Structure 1
Amino acid sequence: MILSAATIALVPQIKTGPWIFWDDLESSMEKASQLGFDGVELFTESADSLDPDFLQKNLEKHSLKLAAVGTGAGKVIHGLTLTDPNPEIREKAISFISDMISLGAKFGAPAIIGSMQGNVPQGGDREKTLDFLREGLEILGEKAGEVGVFLIYEPLNRYETNLLNTLEAGAKFLDSLKTRHVRLLADLFHMNIEETNLPDSLRKYGKFVGHVHLADSHRGPIGSGHTSFEPIASVLKEIGYSGFVSAEAFPWPDSESAAKMTIDTFLKNF
């Protein structure tokens, strides 16, 4: 069964970005539930910034599941990436993500590595940088497996990283790892930039996909741009995808309208 989720940003230092709901966890969850979402994906300042008991209480109250937890604050706030040339920073990045894995695992939810993957620095050694990424994913993938979840790695578009930009590149990289506990995130916004054919890429590399981010061509809510979602939904059903499709999109024209547009598109296609 394919499930829907709305994103909620809970990082005080961040005022804009591709998240549907903002700041107030309880009211955001209530709105998501009322609109018919199955779950929520959270973007938090750190693992310690969220009270698990409070989260559990509200998940139960609003009949929601935790879809995933994002780790991007580690990069945005603390400047941590898995590929930093400084080994101390890489170690801190692994620790930060490990804590987020533990948080999500309490609710059966994966942690997502997006911006914390980092970049090949200007003039840097690409293969060495990829080795750093490989080392981090091996450690964190095994950590995820130990606590009963998968780790999610997100190929980002070329304007956000120069590491791995497509599902093909991500799938080949994951296939080279020893750990079997890392899966790909198929983000429709990034795919719209990097893939020649979104449904074909999902069909070919769908066995590696563990999470989907739902956004239209301009990163607005799905249904507000020119991405055709019907063939994408058809392929997800065809390949037997059974995870979440989570609305990581700008709250345009406002949070509730973006959420309504998203869930309407989801329910129409699933």
Structure 2
Amino acid sequence: MNLTQLSYILVENPDSSGSFENFAATLQQIREFGFQGIEINISGPDLWQQDRLLEFVDSHDFPVVSLLTGSNYFQEGLCFCSPDEQVRRSAVQRLQHYTSIAARFHALLVIGQMQGFSQDEPDRPVAETRIEESLKRIAEAAEEHQVTVVLEPVNHLQVGFHHRLQDVLDLARRIGSDRLRPMLDSFHMNIEEASVTEPIFRAGSDLAHFHLCESNGSLLGSGNLDFPSIFQALESTGYSDWISVKVYRQPWARGAEAAVEHLRKLELIP
């Protein structure tokens, strides 16, 4: 399989104290490594340097593939299951606003960690009801702005709820919006699922996005995941959307360059 829709995730939030020129240079270098798009974190009331970023990605044909939202929980404590109604309201309003930003960039909006943890709300049925109600309101905004919100099954060490594909499929089915779709992440699947390929087949044509991450979260090739099998599973289901490479605990340049080298060595990308 020759993958062409390859993007890279900047795990760290853009440095709002730095210059846009430095950030643009980072994006340009990632593009030169061989990626066709970028995935970035968004936190706070608005996206940093939004207009300039939009101008850059449009002029360089280097799209923002999706916006990651989890840092809003870890930086501000915004989550859907909180017993504090104001916290829940703020979390929902934040993501409703993000749907308008995602629409400007024709990007996906990724939701996972903003569900919160069980320590935020120990009563699981209550927590899940709050999560569902929050997502319904976000889905309404997504429908208004014609944006796809992808629900990410995140492992139990990083979020308190909906760790597996089936959990996310059931949640989306209960909400009933065609703007809510599942995504998968090989790192989380390796922890929570019996197989890293079976969920791909089960998601089938519903799969809207995919994160490619090594079993140890580090450089591609430094763990034990069988990437050719993952790519073959995606190909067999007809998946043709973006695959975003994610690398933790490494400088972005090293992670991006090593990923391209490894995938080319495996003959998975041109």
1:34 corresponds to which of 32, 35, 43: 32
Q: CA shift at 1:47, angstroms?
A: 5.1
SS of equivalent to 1:10 = coil
Q: Percent identity?
A: 23
Q: Report the RMSD for the aligned CA atoms in angstroms.
A: 2.1
Structure 1 counterpart of 2:257: 260
2:186 corresponds to which of 185, 188, 192: 188
Deviations 1:3-59 (A, max 9, x none): 11112233549xxxxxxxxx9421111011111111000113335242232112211
* Counterpart AA for 2:13: L
* Counterpart AA for 2:257: K
Decide whether aligned partners of structure 1 residues 255 and 117 sit closer, same or farther in structure 2, where only a CA change above 3 A counts: same
1:105 corresponds to which of 103, 106, 118: 103
Structure 1 counterpart of 2:41: 43
* Counterpart AA for 1:232: I
* 1:178-257 map, 5 Å: 178-250=176-248, 252=250, 254-257=251-254
Asked if the contact 1:82–1:118 (Cα under 8 Å) also holds between the matched residues in 2, the reply is yes
Structure 2 counterpart of 1:19: none
Deviations 1:242-265 (A, max 9, x none): 22111221253x332211222234
Q: Distance in 1 between matches of 2:193 and 2:229?
A: 15
What TM-score, normalized to structure 2?
0.89
Decide whether aligned partners of structure 1 residues 105 and 265 sit closer, same or farther in structure 2, where only a CA change above 3 A counts: farther
Structure 2 counterpart of 1:17: none
Decide whether aligned partners of structure 1 residues 24 and 144 sit closer, same or farther in structure 2, where only a CA change above 3 A counts: farther
Specify every segment of 5 or more residues in structure 1 that has no aligned partner in the other structure, as ranges.
Answer: 14-22
SS of equivalent to 1:176 = helix
Q: Distance in 2 between matches of 1:269 and 1:75?
A: 35
* Counterpart AA for 1:150: T
* Counterpart AA for 1:261: A
Q: Distance in 2 between matches of 1:149 and 1:193?
A: 29
Deviations 1:87-112 (A, max 9, x none): 11100000111122211110110111
Q: Distance in 1 between matches of 2:117 and 2:22?
A: 32
SS of equivalent to 1:67 = strand
1:171 corresponds to which of 144, 169, 172: 169
Decide whether aligned partners of structure 1 residues 44 and 177 sit closer, same or farther in structure 2, where only a CA change above 3 A counts: closer
Q: CA shift at 1:207, angstroms?
A: 3.2
Q: CA shift at 1:162, angstroms?
A: 2.8
Structure 2 counterpart of 1:10: 13
Q: Distance in 2 between matches of 1:123 and 1:6?
A: 34
Structure 2 counterpart of 1:160: 158
Moved >4 Å (runs of 4+): none
* 1:42-191 map, 5 Å: 42-46=40-44, 48-121=46-119, 124-191=122-189
SS of equivalent to 2:92 = helix
SS of equivalent to 1:202 = helix
What TM-score, normalized to structure 1?
0.89
Asked if the contact 2:83–2:120 (Cα under 8 Å) also holds between the matched residues in 1, the reply is no
SS of equivalent to 2:105 = coil
Pairs aligned (count) = 260
Specify every segment of 5 or more residues in structure 2 that has no aligned partner in the other structure, as ranges.
Answer: none
* Counterpart AA for 1:269: L
SS of equivalent to 1:102 = helix
Q: Distance in 1 between matches of 2:120 and 2:75?
A: 22
Q: CA shift at 1:80, angstroms?
A: 0.4
SS of equivalent to 1:124 = coil
Decide whether aligned partners of structure 1 residues 98 and 36 sit closer, same or farther in structure 2, where only a CA change above 3 A counts: same
Q: Distance in 2 between matches of 1:137 and 1:39?
A: 27
